[in-house]
Structure 1
Amino acid sequence: MDLRLVGYFVAVIDHGGVTRAAEALYVAQPSLSQAIRSLERQLGTQLFDRSGRRLTLTVDGRAFLGPARRILADVENARSRVHAVRDLATGRLEIAALSTLSADPLPELTSGLRRRHPGVLVTVLDPGGPSGVVSQVRQGQAELGLTDFPVKTDMLSTRELWEQEIALVLPPDLAAALPDPVPLDAVAEIPLVLESSAAGGRTPLDDALGRAIDFVAVECAHRQAIWELVMHGAGATFLPRRIAETELANVAVRSTVPQVRRTVRVVFRPGPLSPAAAAFLDVAAEVGRQRSAALPSAHEA
Structure 2
Amino acid sequence: MVRRVTLQQLRYLVAVANFGTMTAAAEALYVAQSALSRALKALEHELGAELFVREGRTVGLTAEGSRVVRLARTVLDTVTAIEDIGRPVGTVSEPTLTVATTSTLAIGHVARLVAAFAAEHPEAPIEVTRHDGREAVLAAVRAGTAAIGVADTPGPGDLRSHRLAETEVVLVSPPDTRLPEPVPWSALHGLPMVLPGRGSERRSQFEAMFAEMGVRPLARSEHNDRVNWVAGVLNGEGSLLWYRDVAEDVFGDSASIRSLDPPLWRGIMLVCREDCRERSARLFVDLARRGGVGEPHAD
1:157 matched to which residue of 2?
Answer: 160
1:240 matched to which residue of 2?
Answer: 243
Q: State whether structure 2 residue 169 is matched by structure 1 residue 166.
A: yes
- Supply the AA of the counterpart residue of 1:93: L
1:209 CA displacement? 4.4
Q: State whether structure 2 residue 226 is matched by structure 1 residue 230.
A: no
- Determine if contact 1:161/1:265 at 8 Å carries over to the other structure: yes
Q: For 1:220 and 1:272, how far apart are their aligned partners in 2?
A: 35
Segment drifting more, 208-217 vs 247-256: 208-217
Higher radius of gyration, 1 or 2: 1
What secondary structure, in the 3-state scheme, does the structure 1 residue paired with 2:285 have?
helix
Structure 1 segment 130-209 matched on structure 2, within 5 A: 130-151=134-155, 153-174=156-177, 176=178, 178-196=179-197, 203-205=203-205, 207-209=208-210
1:216 CA displacement? 1.0
- Supply the AA of the counterpart residue of 1:205: Q
Structure 1 segment 1-301 matched on structure 2, within 5 A: 81=89, 83-84=90-91, 90-151=94-155, 153-174=156-177, 176=178, 178-196=179-197, 203-205=203-205, 207-209=208-210, 211=212, 212-248=215-251, 249-288=253-292
- Supply the AA of the counterpart residue of 2:192: P
Q: For 2:261 and 2:95, how far apart are their aligned partners in 1?
A: 46
Is there any run of 5+ residues in structure 1 with no aligned partner, and where? 1-76, 293-301
Distance 1:196 1:279, change over 3 A: farther
Q: For 1:192 and 1:109, how far apart are their aligned partners in 2?
A: 31
What secondary structure, in the 3-state scheme, does the structure 1 residue paired with 2:144 have?
coil
- Determine if contact 2:98/2:145 at 8 Å carries over to the other structure: yes
Q: For 1:204 and 1:276, how far apart are their aligned partners in 2?
A: 35
What secondary structure, in the 3-state scheme, does the structure 2 residue paired with 1:185 have?
helix
- Determine if contact 2:133/2:202 at 8 Å carries over to the other structure: no
1:228 CA displacement? 2.1
Distance 1:202 1:268, change over 3 A: closer
Distance 1:193 1:79, change over 3 A: same
Q: For 2:187 and 2:277, how far apart are their aligned partners in 1?
A: 46
What secondary structure, in the 3-state scheme, does the structure 2 residue paired with 1:173 have?
coil
Q: Deviations over 1:68-103 (max 9, x none)?
A: xxxxxxxxx99954x447xxx633211110112011
Distance 1:210 1:118, change over 3 A: farther
- Determine if contact 2:106/2:128 at 8 Å carries over to the other structure: no
What secondary structure, in the 3-state scheme, does the structure 2 residue paired with 1:161 have?
strand
Aligned positions, number: 207
- Supply the AA of the counterpart residue of 1:253: I
The alignment's TM-score, normalised by the length of structure 1, stands at 0.62
1:24 matched to which residue of 2?
Answer: none
Q: For 1:288 and 1:160, how far apart are their aligned partners in 2?
A: 7
What secondary structure, in the 3-state scheme, does the structure 1 residue paired with 2:205 have?
coil
Over the aligned positions, Cα root-mean-square deviation in angstroms equals 2.8
Q: For 1:170 and 1:288, how far apart are their aligned partners in 2?
A: 29
What secondary structure, in the 3-state scheme, does the structure 1 residue paired with 2:176 have?
helix
The alignment's TM-score, normalised by the length of structure 2, stands at 0.62
- Determine if contact 2:141/2:272 at 8 Å carries over to the other structure: yes
Distance 1:216 1:262, change over 3 A: same
Identity over aligned pairs, percent: 28
Is there any run of 5+ residues in structure 2 with no aligned partner, and where? 1-84, 295-299
Q: Deviations over 1:195-253 (max 9, x none)?
A: 338x8575443643454443111111221221122022110001111111222032111
- Determine if contact 1:91/1:119 at 8 Å carries over to the other structure: no
- Determine if contact 1:182/1:255 at 8 Å carries over to the other structure: yes
- Supply the AA of the counterpart residue of 1:180: E
Distance 1:201 1:217, change over 3 A: farther
Distance 1:250 1:195, change over 3 A: same
What secondary structure, in the 3-state scheme, does the structure 2 residue paired with 1:126 have?
strand
1:145 CA displacement? 0.8
